[in-house]
Structure 1
Amino acid sequence: MIDITRRIYPGVPVWPGDTPYRFELAWQMAQGASVNVGRITSTTHLGTHLDAPWHYLEEGETLESIPLSLLIGPCQVVDARGQEALTVAFLREVPLAERTLFYTGQPNDWASFPQTFMPVLPEAAAYLAAQGVRLFGTDAPSVDPLDSQELPGHKALAQGGVYILEGLALEGVAPGCYELIALPLSLEGADAAPVRAVLR
């Protein structure tokens, strides 16, 4: 098994302005409690996470509507390093599967939140959908640029029925076919949730 989940730790970089991750003890045995009990606060888009369409579409599905069967099964890992944006021309040259993950060159540990990363052009999103891709995975924190307000990549993928898995840790993973297991926390009504993702 290959763990492709980003580490979560105090100070882990999150999207600028989003809720930082924090872990603290609510009860402590050292202070007389019978058990240690932790408490966390965080963005739902923490590290490796699954977007629900409601994140970027007012009428979109919330997290519990995403079929679990899509999150477990054969997948293709594609080396997309050097691509400034994901284009149809590039996609025509690589193997695709129902679940396709793109390694764009992001390191598994961010010293600070990335300012530039590979976005998905709308025409590339439409091509992916036409080729039967249903789950798009990336090591980047988003499928749109950091300063995007219109989110054309997100919306084009949604229009094609493609779900989005972001923030994967793919450094050192060889391109090829794997089995993906990428299950989110079961957060009913949520816009996203952290995922524990592995390849087998």
Structure 2
Amino acid sequence: MEPSQPWIDITVTTQPGMVVWPGDPPVSLQRVRRIDDGDHANVSHIAMSVHTGTHMDGLNHFVNGAAGIDAMPLEAVVGPARVIAIEDPHSITIAELAPHKLQRAERLLFKTRNSARPWFDEPFWTDYVAIPQETAQYLVDCGVQTVGVDYLSIGRYQGDGVETHQIMLGAGIWVIEGLYLAAVEPGLYEFIALPIKLKDSDGAPCRAILRPLTSQ
């Protein structure tokens, strides 16, 4: 039996000062008890948006009354996933996806120019590569179950970002945002991305990892 390939962590590190969506609260991580101060244990307090860093959207993020993140089926985020490299510097287009012959119930992660730089340590970009609404509908029509992107939103900052979310979440596609795919080559992977189980939440931080299923 061949040894397993190592896991690749595609999660960004959550920390104070990291980029957040405009208008969202900054990350606060404070030590409230310290062994050095005579306490029996170190204890920290964290405050941030559930859409910070690497995270998942509940379907109710843009669809009122839809399922929260705690209702997400584990099958959406555990199993084979395909990483597809996107060359277009602006958008994830139907023309670029069509040759990949997307399959029903696929888990797809899109690697774009966003991953060429450590975006999480830089000021917010407004020109990140995103999914326009026509591509969102194409993904729905293909029947994919999970989509991951390498910036803080599947939708564009200006334009049809709301519509992209409404189309995909409204169709039950589970969305992972804020991945970092710099060390990942296109191909097929074993995939795990487990969000914190927050009751009825519109999102939650998650830890996302990949391991090659075949030689890349």
State whether TM-score is above 0.5: yes
SS across alignment from 2:139: helix
Q: Match for 2:19: what amino acid?
A: P
In the alignment, does 2:25 pair up with 1:53? no
In the alignment, does 2:46 pair up with 1:35? no
SS across alignment from 1:19: coil
Tell me by how many angstroms 1:26 deviates: 1.1
SS across alignment from 1:64: helix
SS across alignment from 1:93: helix
Q: Do the aligned partners of 1:85 and 1:121 also contact (CA within 8 Å) in 2?
A: yes
Q: Match for 1:132: what amino acid?
A: G
Indicate which of 162, 168, 188 corresponds to 1:157: 168
Indicate which of 169, 181, 184 corresponds to 1:173: 184
Q: Match for 1:103: what amino acid?
A: K
Tell me by how many angstroms 1:95 deviates: 4.9
* Cα distance in 2, alignment partners of residues 59 and 104 from structure 1: 32
* Cα distance in 2, alignment partners of residues 150 and 7 from structure 1: 25
Tell me by how many angstroms 1:161 deviates: 2.3
The 1:180–1:174 alpha-carbon spacing in structure 2 relative to 1, beyond 3 Å, is: same
Q: Residues 140-162 of structure 1: CA distance to partner in whole angstroms, max 9, x if unpaired? A: 21122224576011111123321
In the alignment, does 2:102 pair up with 1:91? no
Tell me by how many angstroms 1:122 deviates: 2.2
CA RMSD of aligned residues (A): 1.6
Tell me by how many angstroms 1:113 deviates: 1.7
Identity %: 34
Q: Match for 1:26: what amino acid?
A: V
Where structure 1 has 5 or more consecutive residues not aligned to the other structure, the ranges are: none
Which position in structure 2 is the counterpart of 1:134?
Answer: 145
* Cα distance in 1, alignment partners of residues 87 and 21 from structure 2: 22
Q: Residues 150-193 of structure 1: CA distance to partner in whole angstroms, max 9, x if unpaired? A: 60111111233211110101013100000110000111111100
Which position in structure 2 is the counterpart of 1:188?
Answer: 199
Q: Residues 64-112 of structure 1: CA distance to partner in whole angstroms, max 9, x if unpaired? A: 1110111100000000132422222111022535100001121344311
Q: Do the aligned partners of 2:33 and 2:41 also contact (CA within 8 Å) in 1?
A: yes
* Cα distance in 2, alignment partners of residues 61 and 5 from structure 1: 24
Would you tell me which structure has more helix in proportion to its own residues?
A: 2
Large movers: runs of 4+ above 3 Å: 147-150
SS across alignment from 1:96: coil
Q: Do the aligned partners of 1:76 and 1:95 also contact (CA within 8 Å) in 2?
A: no
In the alignment, does 2:11 pair up with 1:5? yes
Between 99-108 and 69-78, the greater mean CA deviation after superposition: 99-108
TM-score, normalised on structure 1? 0.93
Q: Do the aligned partners of 2:132 and 2:161 also contact (CA within 8 Å) in 1?
A: no
Q: When the two structures are aligned, how many residues end up with a matched partner?
A: 200
Where structure 2 has 5 or more consecutive residues not aligned to the other structure, the ranges are: 1-6, 212-216
Q: Do the aligned partners of 2:63 and 2:170 also contact (CA within 8 Å) in 1?
A: no
* Cα distance in 1, alignment partners of residues 38 and 44 from structure 2: 15
Which position in structure 2 is the counterpart of 1:105?
Answer: 113
* Cα distance in 1, alignment partners of residues 24 and 38 from structure 2: 35
